[in-house]
Amino acid sequence: MPHRQFRLPDLGEGLTEAEIVRWLVDVGETVTVNQPLVEVETAKAVVEIPSPFAGVLVERHCEAGRELAVGAPLLTIDAPGDEPSAGALAGPPAASLPESRSGEAGDATTAPASAGSGSGGPGSAGPGSAAGRASMATGRTPMLVGYGPRSSEPERRRRRRQRDESANGGAPAASTAAAPAAAASPARSGRAAAKPPVRKLARDLGVDLSLIIGTGPAGSISRADVESAAARGTAAAAVGLVSAAPPAPSAPLVPAAPPAPNGHKETTRRVPGAIPDDASFDPATGAWRIPVTGIRRTMARAMAASVFTAPHATEFLSVDVTEAVAARERITALPDFAGVRVTPLLLVAKALITAVRRHPLINATWVDGAAGEDAEIRVRPEINLGIAVAGPRGLVVPNIPDAGSLDLPGLARALQSLTEAARADRLRPADLSGGTITITNIGVFGVDTGTPVLNPGEAAILALGAIRPTPWVHRGELAVRTVAQLALTFDHRVVDGELGSAVLADVGAMLADPVVALAWS
């Protein structure tokens, strides 16, 4: 049977590399077309890559935790059927990889089994398979499902994770001794579901994972669960279930996430500053080591590039938003907004969009010229509004494409949908590219104001601070009014002080008086 080599495809938006998060199949397993094979993390999202053809996985060219360049060999499958013809081997070069939006596979090369894994053009599914027969009938390779966005069905993901973790992962086997107390431990089917860093922490603390009831997603065991077990003295050594080797020095405990308002533990967001699950504890130094990969690495690079490339300037404005808050309550009661959250951020976003329409130069980007050429400022015709969101894997800035074309109900739905997708880690790579101006809500953290950093390639970012009852001079008299703090950071190469002040003042004027917003919209 021929060996078919599958290369890492371009997952969209010009990404050049991806990190292997975990393999969903082992060498020797039989796979089918469109079966998820591996989970990879790009600079923008976690993506599952499906199999382009059926067969037996014979080689994985990169292990979990390692980076792989786009176009590099990812895996080799021993596919059933006849050896492909010369015509099947012909095709575009290996570097020509489709983007995830097209829904097509990356480069798949074919070689005879005796030759090992070779290179060449795209291959097709074996003629003996259903996918191969469909390919021969239509003259096209089978359409692959699953490229680009992560599945939006959490139940399906949870089942796959349980299957994978019960079959593949694992801590080193430890000699065990029977103990009467073991009979009282919670019954488990198979191996406890926990990430490798959590398993390592459990080994360091001497905690037996089989004695813990997980509070994470789908009952998985979290770092907080292990630390709580260690604090309660339920270490495995106490019931005689671990080897005689002494445990490593105890790691410092990390506070678990507080209960959600509904009384259930929050599983999608962590306490700010808590040690992440992918950290490892160094018993020798007592320090945690946090790998800088994926979104964390991308955000660090982007922020450093932004700060050291674009000259930042920030202006501040306090606004009496009492009338806007009252208008928000009336808007919420309208039938068009049934089932949609009308938040202060929505009203600020709408005001910013209107201000951008009045001052289009702020919706621009600075482009350095090539050698010997002058730089230029490019003004974007559409307003792609970025929303800074603290997601489960770090800060992300997805955007609402052409937000300027949406009415207020449409903007409310788009904002709600995008925020929920970000917090559930269901963003597509396309959601994180192409923004033209950004808004961030730091007031939800109880912060009055700040100096936000520009999203690279954009000329401005607006921060909404806390909204509080404040003593305020209203119509010549001192009164308690609802006051919001705004901060606008802009690229001083593109935006001068006059333009930045005009945009910020316009946003403030519309929030202070909804009639102004109506007149300008």
Active site residues: 492
Instruction: Identify the bridge partners of residue 379 per DSSP, sorted by sequence position.
Output: 364
- HSE at residue 132, side-chain half, CA atoms within 13 A, is 19
Task: Specify the DSSP class assigned to residue 222.
Answer: P
Task: Report the helix count and the strand count for the chain, using DSSP H and E.
Answer: 11, 21
**Residue 292 in tokens:** 């800088």
Dist. CA 379–CA 362, nearest whole Å: 8
Which DSSP string do the residues of 267-294 spell out, in sequence order? -S---TTPPPTT-EEETTTTEEE----H
3-state secondary structure of 47: strand
Residue 111 · residue 97 · CB < 8 Å? no
CA 104, 106, 107, 111 torsion: positive or negative? negative
Total residue count of the chain as it appears in this document: 521
Task: Specify the DSSP class assigned to residue 405.
Answer: G
Pairing of strands 385-387, 437-441: parallel
Q: What angle, rounded to 10 degrees, do the helices at 344-358 and 322-332 form?
A: 110
Dist. CA 489–CA 453, nearest whole Å: 7
Query: Among all chains, which residue has been given the structure tokens 């802009």?
Result: 490
Task: Specify the DSSP class assigned to residue 255.
Answer: P
**Residue 242 in tokens:** 């671990």
Q: Please report, for residues 76, 179, 243, the alpha-carbon distance to residue 246 in angstroms, rounded to integers and kept in the order given.
A: 42, 19, 8
Residue 501 · residue 311 · CB < 8 Å? no
Spell out where 79-182 has E strands. 108-111
Dihedral Cα 270, 271, 273, 278, nearest 10 deg: -30
